[in-house]
Amino acid sequence: MLKAIQQLLDNIIAGWKKDAENKQQKIPQDFRTEITNKFARIWGASWFKFLVFGRPPGKQPPPTAMTEFVKKNPNILVDARKMFKKITEQSLGYLIGRKIGAKGSRIFRGEKPGIDYEGVIKINLKEMYGELAKAYTLEVVNKLKLK
């Protein structure tokens, strides 16, 4: 049973990654799982929630995080330099963070879709229920044959 749950969690993580790729979003690669007889957990980067729900206005993201974002997405800097020739990664990161702090992220504003967190889980649970039903049916049939 624990093996089936581990497979379920692996499939959920793979589904989130595929959904992010389809939406051209970068997603944390360092998810980890924890399974016991009482619970199953998926652990991931704290910023994953912003890819699902977006970031509401009110607080500006940390400038260092926004500078890292610009470094990991160099095409954003190239586009910005078409308008502002001498803009730096730090300046652009600050400006992006300031806009997010004032208006929220594009996902939060509904201008860009977030990762379908819940949908991926539901699809994978439905598949797991189907597999469990098949396994249980086979077990019952085998027990009936033995009698």
* pLDDT tens-place values along the chain, 147 residues long: 678 888 899 999 999 999 999 998 888 888 999 998 888 999 999 889 999 999 999 989 999 999 998 998 889 999 999 999 999 999 999 999 999 999 999 999 999 999 999 999 999 888 888 777 777 787 777 777 766
Give dist(CA 70, CA 123) in Å, integer.
34
Q: Is residue 22 part of a domain?
A: yes
Residue indicated by tokens 């360092």: 30
Q: Is residue 109 part of a domain?
A: no
Q: 144 and 125 in one domain?
A: yes
Q: How many domains does the chain have?
A: 2
Q: What was the pLDDT predicted at 145?
A: 73
Q: Is residue 75 part of a domain?
A: yes
Domain that holds residue 32: 1-52+114-147
Amino acid at 8: L
